[in-house]
A = this chain, B = another copy of it.
Amino acid sequence: MFSINENYLKLNESYLFSTIESKVNGFTRNHPQADIIRLGIGDVTLPLPPSVIAALHKAVDEMADKSTFHGYGPEQGYAFLRETIAKNDFIDRGLDIAADEIFISDGAKSDTGNIGDILGDANVIGITDPVYPVYLDTNIMRILQSSITSSKILFLTCSEENKFLPELPPKRVDVIYLCYPNNPSGTVMTRAQLKKWVDYALENESLILFDAAYEAYITEDDIPHSIFEIEGAKSCAIEFRSFSKNAGFTGLRCSYTVVPKALKTVTSTKKEVSLNALWRRRQSTKFNGTAYIIQRAAEAVYSPEGRKEVRSMVDYYMQNAAIIREGLAEKGWTVFGGVNAPYIWLKCPDTTDSWAFFDRLLQECHIVGTPGVGFGLKGEGYFRLTAFNSHEKTLEAVQRIKNWKQ
């Protein structure tokens, strides 16, 4: 009988947000009148900005005409978008990243999930706890099969004691996932703090997988928007960026990944290998590029109008973050994040069972959040709220929580 990848049986039966969706659907079936406010999944709610809509319509019209139709594009993404990104997100900020170090894809979830394809099974993987579940789940899917123990994953605790910033690993790790601004805790690393990790990686010849999907939410000066602001990072890091949370592309699907040409390792036979070449090979074999019309939409994000529109969307959400953070603090709850990130991470009041808190908040306040334990064992006792709903709904949610007699 053919066999399956049995690592899958070591996973929770469903992905965290699918579980939440089922619970919410169950509740609304029994309470069809309930006015549910969703502060759970990190999905945006504002429509796409006008310059993106205009770019989409224009590109759709191109697809209707034989002389401007676009079929298969380059798997790595069109040069017009990669060059625009290189200039705006890197070169103009003094960072030396070239267009051929940028790979356009359909989402940071795909790329952070698929990056393991090019890595060896023997790597010890450092993952923060709590963490965005995709990093952990995709490693469970990939590497446990060929090892007896789970010692290949080292959890780096993030807790109130260390302000949700992990300490350097007590033993060597080969690959480290870092996400800053952080999902779920909303915390950030300063340049000095991130430099410690880059230095660690350089010293230990480790690889940092840096998820910067939330960089647009940074409001404070000393917080790096890209790991490549740190000297030496081009030799030890891959960075994931997304148009989902800044420009509202969660339903449009576009992101990019930076794999510097300076990033190299050696094989078991001491042959030097470029990760840029490996990722290019992976993408050209297992991916056929992001839709042309969507790459044109992403390009529009960098137009003068597009920038203004995106700025105003981010500001809107960050006002929500302030409403939640301040409202809950006024109620006396302990809150983190929400200053440089669209996530508020709170200590569950009166319980350490974050699913119980989820259920009560849903049933008694009709508010959906995300239980901290869904992000890892060390997330137990905490809870994530997101700033992506409307002002009105966010104010209403905070008011409900303030009036709530737990």
A residues adjacent to B (C-beta < 8 A): 1-6, 8-9, 11, 13-15, 18, 41, 43-48, 50, 53, 56-57, 60-61, 63-66, 69-73, 75, 106-107, 109-110, 113-114, 117-123, 133-134, 137-138, 141, 145-146, 174-175, 205-207, 248, 250-253, 265-268, 271, 273, 275, 278, 281-282, 284-294
Q: How many copies does the complex hold?
A: 2
B residues less than 8 Å from A252 (CB atoms): 63, 291-293
Contact status of A2 and B175, CB under 8 A, knowing A48-B69, A281-B11: yes
Minimum distance in angstroms from A97 CB to a CB of chain B: 21
Contact of A285 among B65, B123, B141, B282 (CB under 8 A): B141
Decide: B251 and A73 in contact? CB cutoff 8 A. Answer: yes
B residues less than 8 Å from A114 (CB atoms): 286
- In whole angstroms, how far apart are the Cα atoms of A60 and B54 in the complex? 9
Decide: A60 and B63 in contact? CB cutoff 8 A. Answer: no
Minimum distance in angstroms from A145 CB to a CB of chain B: 6
Decide: A15 and B118 in contact? CB cutoff 8 A. Answer: no
Per CB-CB distance, the 7 closest pairs between chain A and chain B, nearest first, are A3-B120, A113-B286, A2-B174, A1-B205, A43-B71, A71-B250, A70-B251
- In whole angstroms, how far apart are the Cα atoms of A268 and B119 in the complex? 26
- In whole angstroms, how far apart are the Cα atoms of A133 and B110 in the complex? 22
Contact status of A291 and B2, CB under 8 A, knowing A63-B48, A66-B46, A72-B41: no
